[in-house]
Amino acid sequence: MPKQTYSVTITGDQPLRADHVVRDLLRLSRSKITRLFANGCVTVNDKKCKDSFARVAAGDVVQVAFNPDAGYPEAPKAWDDRTFDVVFEDSWIIVINKAAGVLTLPTEKSTGNTLLDRIKLYLNHSRSGRECFVVHRLAREASGLLVFAKSAVGARLLQAQFNDDAPTRLFTAIVNGNMEKSEGNFECRLATASNLDQYAVYGKDEGSLATTEYRVLREKLDTTIVELRPVTARRHQMRVHLADAGHPVLGDPRYGKGKSRHRNWHKRRIALHGHRLEFLHPESAAPLVFESPIPVAMKKFRPQPLEENERSENAP
């Protein structure tokens, strides 16, 4: 049977839902009406409408063109994953916002359900055979922006940028205590212990140089919110630098020992989030800038007792 077209012009003063209009026009079940919207069979004022809950008003023209004998499939379910959110995606790269508590890559002790595994599942959700390649990492306990490549060529081009310390990565951290200077940099040489922890070494030929710039954003009673820019890309370098300076990241289980604890920070994550990422696109070399909002756990953190200005901010 060929397609049939049904049309109605909305009258009256009150706006209506588009799916209610189609229901009254065709007398079909709700599931069939939902599939018509999902498959682009419905237009409002000659524009496709896939939102069945869209509002229409007097004068709008709703049209439905479909084959009554055709089996219109349901819309694919949207991807939902607690480990990451997609910030940007094209044929070369995918930029995601990683949740805290997720490993980027498998380790000897933990090999399953890593961030890499989850992104591969996402990429194959709509079309199988799609690949994903790691470019850089972020500690399990932290959250923030990461870029993955969709091809080996793209991965090599991006990794070359990170190996040259070219991309800009900015992090927000809540650290213990108040810092003496409002801005500055940490620099030392880092080596790796047998348990993979990083530590400072002082021989000229030992370890690898690590540099982190910092800027104080706000001081609280016994904590400080700082912005960090790792100039180099050494493992855990920001956490080591802050701990060695006597201001470990809140909740850090590896660096700072007891000083990383705070009476009002009870989260399993650490108070460290990668909020900005800048690099060049591997194909076009166009500059790309991505930003991620500060997680709720960090945004709502308040040491007690509240400062006077914070009391006024929280007043009803």
Q: In this predicted model, what pLDDT tens digit does every residue of 11-27 receive, in sequence order?
A: 887 668 999 999 999 98
The domains of the chain, with CATH numbers, are 4-66 (3.10.290.10), 84-299 (3.30.2350.10)
Q: Across all residues in the chain, what is the average pLDDT?
A: 88
Total-model pTM: 0.72
Answer yes or no: is pLDDT of 203 > 60: yes
pLDDT of 246-303, one tens digit each?
Answer: 999 999 989 988 899 998 998 889 999 999 999 999 999 999 999 999 999 999 998 8
104 near 138, Cβ under 8 Å?
yes
CA distance 146 to 96: 6
132 near 146, Cβ under 8 Å?
no
Average pLDDT for 80-97: 91
Can the peptide bond before residue 305 be classed as cis, meaning omega within 30 degrees of 0?
yes
CA distance 272 to 101: 12
